[in-house]
Structure 1
Amino acid sequence: MDFEELFLNQSTEKEKKELPLFKEYAIDFNTLEPLKNGDRLVELTGNEALKVWIFKALKTKRNFYEIHSDSYGNDLDVHIGTVYQESIKNALIISEIKDCLLVNPYILDCYNFKLDYNSGDNHLKVSFNILTVYGESEVLHSE
């Protein structure tokens, strides 16, 4: 194990000890309805809970809803209809996604972005990896 891996492992362990277990209620990503088990809401923890948080943060416009802090959500909508070179547009979108997600102390990094504009349904599909205090996970998102 090299120095970087050792440092990352120590940082991750430190983050785990300082932060309580991350919890979020499960949702159906298509209908946005909460998932239930009988009459009780399904609760997720760790990376699965973070995927729900990420989905919600990427679907929420920053500074639009008073209930959210100024740092929650994103400004991806400002890029709709813009005419940039694809490389510039991709860099701006990736930067916006990182700004949106890295406010969460459980998320340590976002990387390995793949953007697909040709999905056939006029939506941008984005996939990327996240490094969290719980480990690594892949995220797929459609805008």
Structure 2
Amino acid sequence: MEEEQFFPFIGVEDDYIYQSNKDLPLFEEFAYDFEINDFIFDEKGEIKILQGVEALKIWIKKALLTDRFVHEIYSWDYGTELITLVGQKFSQGLTESEAFRYITEALLINPYIENVTNNGVKFDGDNLTINIIVETIYGEVNISV
């Protein structure tokens, strides 16, 4: 009689078990200057490449500034839906909650990111600023959105 399996990983060959985030290659991203909205070039005129946590900071900011489902060049998993909150008549609490949920969903698709924590919310008129702590495989990153 064959033994019944309740969990998908029991009895599954090692090749199918999810690899730890610690086994990921070094994260790389093109250096970007968000102030001037352009790439950063090195002395040879080539786009500078960042690695590790500095590269991940660029990816995080870019993902949070990109509207999800708008740009055909990006996967539907990339970006946030924060734009959908603009003009809504939600309570302050619901707006904060939904904004943080959108941010968390946008960031946790990246396997280098382990957790996102809300570190404070501030309303200034119609502007909402959320301070988050992003736990990555390289350590914590503080971001204001």
Mapped pair 1:19 → 2:24: yes
Equivalent residue number for residue 94 of structure 2: 88
Percent of aligned positions that are identical: 34
Mapped pair 1:67 → 2:58: no
Q: Which amino acid in structure 1 is aligned with residue 137 of structure 2?
A: V
Q: Give me the whole-angstrom Cα distance separating, in 1, the residues matched to 2:76 and 2:47.
A: 28
Give 1:21 shift. Answer: 0.6
Structure with greater contact order relative to length (CA < 8 Å, sep ≥ 6) = 1
Equivalent residue number for residue 104 of structure 2: 98
Look up the SS of the partner of 1:103 in the other structure: coil
Q: Give me the whole-angstrom Cα distance separating, in 1, the residues matched to 2:128 and 2:98.
A: 14
Q: Which runs of 5+ in 1 are unaligned?
A: 1-13
Q: Which runs of 5+ in 2 are unaligned?
A: 1-19
Cα distance per residue 1:71-126 (max 9 Å; x no partner): 111111110011111111100100010011100010000003322221x7x64332
Conserved 8 A contact 1:94-1:113: no
Length-normalised TM-score, structure 1: 0.80
Q: Give me the whole-angstrom Cα distance separating, in 2, the residues matched to 1:44 and 1:126.
A: 25
Instruction: Count residues with an aligned counterpart.
Output: 125
Asked which structure has the greater CA Rg, the reply is: 2
Equivalent residue number for residue 12 of structure 2: none
Q: Which amino acid in structure 2 is aligned with residue 137 of structure 1?
A: V
Mapped pair 1:116 → 2:122: yes
- Structure with greater helix share of residues: 1
Question: RMSD between aligned alpha carbons?
Answer: 1.5
Conserved 8 A contact 1:131-1:137: yes
Mapped pair 1:40 → 2:40: no
Mapped pair 1:50 → 2:89: no
Equivalent residue number for residue 139 of structure 1: 143
Q: Which amino acid in structure 1 is aligned with residue 133 of structure 2?
A: N
Q: Give me the whole-angstrom Cα distance separating, in 2, the residues matched to 1:129 and 1:29.
A: 20
Look up the SS of the partner of 2:58 in the other structure: helix
